Structure formats: C-alpha cells, structure tokens
A and B are shown apart, each in its own frame.
Chain A
C-alpha cells in the first residue's frame, strides 16, 4: 500500500518499524519534538497540563478513507487538529509523504472541513471569487508561471470541475456566503478546500445536524470526490451507520485513546472491545438503563 500519512503519538514508537512493516521508502516531512500539549482552562490562569490524546498510532494510505468514531469528548476533533498541524502534540511524530509540490506558507496538503463551515466562509464575498483565489494561489505554488492568459483558462477549467464535483449549481456561484443555506455553505466550503487540491481531507462531523436525505447526498458526494480526485479522507463522526458506508478502515476512540481499529466491516460488525459493543448497541437504541448508567459513571470519573 502507498502510505500517505503515518501518525504515532507514542514517544517510544520507532517510525522505521512501522514503515518497514509496510516495506516502502519514505521521506520525513515533519517530526514534532516539543513534549507538552498545553491546555489552559481559563485565559487568566496558568496553563495546566492534561493528557488529551495518548497512544495514538495509525496510518492512512493514498486515496484511502478512514473513519474515526467515538462519543463527544473522546478527543476526535483534537486528533484532527493535530493531524492538520493546527495543534502540536507534546510527543511523537507525524509523517506526511507528499507527492506534490507544497510550500508551507500558502496552502497545506492537509485540509479540514469543519463542523460549522458557514463560519469559515467570508459572508460578504462571492463564492466564485473565493474559489478562484484559492485555485490561483495553488497554481502559483505549483507551476509558478505568470502567463496570465493561459492561467485564466486553466483556472476556469478547474473551477468548473470543482463546482461540478460538489454539485454547486451555476446560479449560486455569484452569490455571497450569507445568501446560502446551510447545505449550500457546506458545499461551497468544500469547493474552496478542493481548490487547493489537498491530498488528505479531514471531515469533522460533516453529517451532524443534517436530515437523512442530505446525509445521503453528502455521503455520495464524498465518495465521488475520493474517486475523482484521489483524495484520502479521515472522516470523524459519531454516526456509525454512515461510517460503515463511507470508510474502509475505522478507529474507535475512547477518552483520548484508540481502543479498537481495523476494517470497517470487521470493527462494526464483530467488535471486540466492550466500548465498541456499547456504541453499536447505543446506535440501535437497545441499551438498558444499567448499561447507560455504567458508561456515564465511567466517563464522569475520568474527567
């Protein structure tokens, strides 16, 4: 398998071992050396330390879709931010094996689609302008040419392809962010992200607060983008039903740790860990009050 990203937050893990197991060569893109993840509970207080993620180690291959599931507070979003380089972990390393030409200043090969995507779009700018700008930035980065005529045609070609991929109708492209509905905003944000041709796309709860019909539409959309652009994806969701349909591989997180991982069919159909079993039962709404009580009590003790 062609490895795109390799993550280990265990300080003692030898990344070479992980890679040799897969028998490929690699180049080191990023090794993080600082050792504390600081969290400050109040702004005027001294930062206090708290272990948020521990013993995390996984890899995502090129074009692979991996799911991360777990209840709220399990550390899913923190992990996504660490992978995207927004947060720096206190230990361990993240290796990204990129095939393209990425200069860090302008755009990153890892992009996140956040939950409240309406907020990342400038409400007062036209959608097509935002997308064009991102395409231009990416082109200058990769090609570096200044031939404005040729560039113009490449940009409009790419723009067309991206808007079509996210099902964004022609008549909405001239609109401004605030003039769009929630689902349209999410697709516009996705178009903006695809414009920089990411190699890894992180989806943070992309299905929450959507009705069943648009969940299904987005599910198909992500599958299509994965096929058409070969974008690898990490999809964070507590909706196991959707992860089952979207992902090849899945990680189950509990209190900052990966407690189970494997192929989606393996983990979600015959789980080993009691917590995974609990999650699956919860999804079917067949937990007894005793089972619920035990889990809530455990969570309270932990925090």
Chain B
C-alpha cells in the first residue's frame, strides 16, 4: 500500500538545521489500522505530513522515499500531489473546525460530492443533521465534535485508499470517538488502510492492528497490538494513560 523509507527530515537553513526525524521506515498493508503513539512534540504530525509532501520545502529537507502505487510520492510535482491528496490519500487533521473556510457554508465542501445516497447514509451514521440543514451551516456554527465528523464524512466520500488521522479523539466526547472507531474498522475491511497518530492509548489499543512508538525522533518498529503492550522498553508510554 505505502512503503516509507525516510532517512532523515531536517528543519532550517543549511548551516543551522535541526534534525527532526531519523530512520523512519515502515510499510502500510491493506485491511489494517496502523497507529503511531508518542508524546507532545515528538514529531508525530511532522511525520504524517512528510508522507505526501505537505512539509514546505523552503524549511524542511527530506531525505528518503515514500512509495505509493509504484511511484515515489516525494518526487511528484505539486499538481499531481494535490490530486493524490484529493482522491487517494486523505487527511483528517486535529483541529477539523479550523480546516474549513469560515466564510463559506458547509455546502461548498459537499459540492464536489456526487453520491447523494452515500452522503445521506453517512450523515445518518454519524448523527449529523440532514443534508439540507447541514448545507446551510457555517463552520463557526458547529461544535468541534461535529466538525470532526463532517471532516471524516468528506474524507470517506472520496473513497481513498489510505486515510491519515491526526489525534482523532482530541476534543470530542468518547461516544463520538466510539462511532468513529467502528466506521474506521469498517473502512479498512474493504481493503483500505488507516494510519493514525494519537496520545490516546486506550483508543489505540482498541482500534489498532499494529502500533509503533515515536520518541526522540526515532520510530520503533510496528508490532501487533497485543505484542506491543508487552514490550517493557515502551513502559514509559504508560504515562499516556493519565
């Protein structure tokens, strides 16, 4: 599905650059949910942004490759990357509410969507208002939890092969997170993959097929979920259980 081999990611000017991440190597397989755990500031968001060229080349230098459908994503031109992120690899960012333009009603984001039946069933699944009502709302009129759900609905409608989520449980209540968990499991069962980064260890344990841990700029190998929690090396992740 996606084969990542990044030697290093650096930030800053040539002489005063800072090494952010090093030896990031993993393969994402279909039908599985992969989770990267890590503390605040460990570089989780940088890592997932680097996968589809979302890091600004002015500031970041990436040495490595990300192979998707037999092509190295990191060498693709911007227009193709844009298409890729629109169709095949979708992101759901942490502050979903802020990823909408506050001056446009939500209808704007659904205009590109053709599958009305699918839309309606997804809205119903996520307990969102009916299409006609939802379209009239502006992003500032909906709660953070609602914005998160709308963002996921939009991503699913594009039928991506890979869905990447940044801290999907932050700022939403656990019932909604629960709903999302079930939907994501359903999504991968159709042959797709999910990659998520989170600090929520209970969520990670429940949803993931494989888990890894990012710390000090280095990514541990992915282990099966049950094995991962047996490895004493990562016992310091228990603080995440706060």
* A and B from one complex: yes
Whether A213 lies near B175 (C-beta < 8 A) is no
Given A289-B179, A289-B182, check contact A283 B202 (CB 8 Å): yes
Q: Does B170 contact A (CB under 8 A)?
A: yes
Whether A285 lies near B242 (C-beta < 8 A) is no
Chain B contacts for A71, CB-based, 8 A: 173, 175
Complex alpha-carbon distance, A147 and B175, angstroms: 57
**Interface bits A262-288 vs B (CB < 8 Å: 1, else 0):** 000000000000000001001111111
Q: Does A211 contact B (CB under 8 A)?
A: yes
Chain A contacts for B182, CB-based, 8 A: 288-289, 292
Given A209-B171, A285-B174, check contact A219 B242 (CB 8 Å): yes
Q: Does A116 contact B (CB under 8 A)?
A: no
Chain B contacts for A82, CB-based, 8 A: none
Complex alpha-carbon distance, A292 and B174, angstroms: 11
Q: Does A72 contact B (CB under 8 A)?
A: yes
Whether A285 lies near B173 (C-beta < 8 A) is no
A to B contact number (C-beta, < 8 Å):
65
State how many angstroms separate the Cβ of B6 from the closest Cβ of chain A. Answer: 25
Q: Does B177 contact A (CB under 8 A)?
A: yes
Say which size band chain A's interface belongs to.
20 to 34
Whether B179 lies near A292 (C-beta < 8 A) is yes
Whether A285 lies near B207 (C-beta < 8 A) is yes
State how many angstroms separate the Cβ of A41 from the closest Cβ of chain B. Answer: 15
Whether A72 lies near B173 (C-beta < 8 A) is yes
User: What DSSP secondary structure best describes chain B's contact surface?
Assistant: helix
**Interface bits B217-242 vs A (CB < 8 Å: 1, else 0):** 00000000000000000000001111
Q: Does B39 contact A (CB under 8 A)?
A: yes
State how many angstroms separate the Cβ of B202 from the closest Cβ of chain A. Answer: 6
Complex alpha-carbon distance, A219 and B239, angstroms: 13
Q: Does A216 contact B (CB under 8 A)?
A: yes
Whether A285 lies near B171 (C-beta < 8 A) is no
27 A-B residue pairs with Cβ-Cβ distance under 8 Å, sorted by A, are A72-B143, A209-B171, A211-B39, A211-B40, A212-B239, A212-B240, A212-B241, A212-B242, A213-B40, A213-B239, A213-B242, A219-B242, A238-B174, A242-B242, A282-B173, A282-B174, A283-B174, A284-B202, A285-B203, A286-B206, A287-B178, A288-B182, A289-B182, A292-B178, A296-B127, A296-B175, A300-B127
Interface residues of A (CB under 8 A from B): 71-72, 208-209, 211-216, 219, 238, 241-242, 279, 282-289, 292, 295-296, 300
